[in-house]
Amino acid sequence: MCSLCKSNSTIKQMCEEKTSLNDKEIEKIIEVSKTLDLMSNFYESDVFIDVLSFNKDEAYVVAHGKPQYQSIYNENVVGKKALKKNEPGVIKTLNTVMTTRDIKAITQEYKLVKQTIQPITLNEKLI
């Protein structure tokens, strides 16, 4: 199986198991995930897609774009939780549909970072 096919399958499976997203919303997440490596290289920063779980105080990382030269992550964080206490901007954006900028957060590898979080929407609904 090709690596892109495998990542699409992982995204679909995680969204079906951990969220209330429907098939069209999951397809939108997969579509956006295809641009993450390009975005991460452009911004010279790690870029993620997190989806809100059934528990509204946590999200799951379903995709990760790593910049070609300087990812701050040593491990694969796809499948790991983004918790409200560590990444408040992620949860705020996923609950309010508002872009959140320059928010301090603690990564899954316990590194202090500054995040900007942009919502992904489909038909004006946050996904």
Residues 37-42 have a mean pLDDT of: 93
How many Å apart are CA 50 and CA 39, to the nearest integer?
15
Instruction: Evaluate if residue 4 carries a pLDDT over 60.
Output: no
Q: Do residues 38 and 46 lie in contact, with contact meaning Cβ atoms separated by under 8 Å?
A: no
Query: What is the DSSP-derived secondary structure letter of residue 75?
Result: S
Instruction: Evaluate if residue 101 carries a pLDDT over 60.
Output: yes
Q: In the prediction, which pLDDT does 1 show?
A: 44
Q: In the prediction, which pLDDT does 6 show?
A: 54
Is pTM beyond 0.85? Reply is yes
Which residue segment(s) compose the domain that 70 sits in? 3-126
Q: In the prediction, which pLDDT does 2 show?
A: 40
User: What is the number of domains present in the chain?
Assistant: 1
In degrees and rounded to multiples of 5, residue 51 shows phi and psi of: -120, 140
Instruction: Evaluate if residue 97 carries a pLDDT over 60.
Output: yes
Query: What is the DSSP-derived secondary structure letter of residue 83?
Result: E
- Select from 82, 49, 83 the least CA-distant residue to 64: 49
pLDDT tens for 75-86 read 999 999 999 999
Tokens of 77: 């964080």
Query: What is the DSSP-derived secondary structure letter of residue 78?
Result: T
Domain of 39, CATH number, reads 3.30.450.280
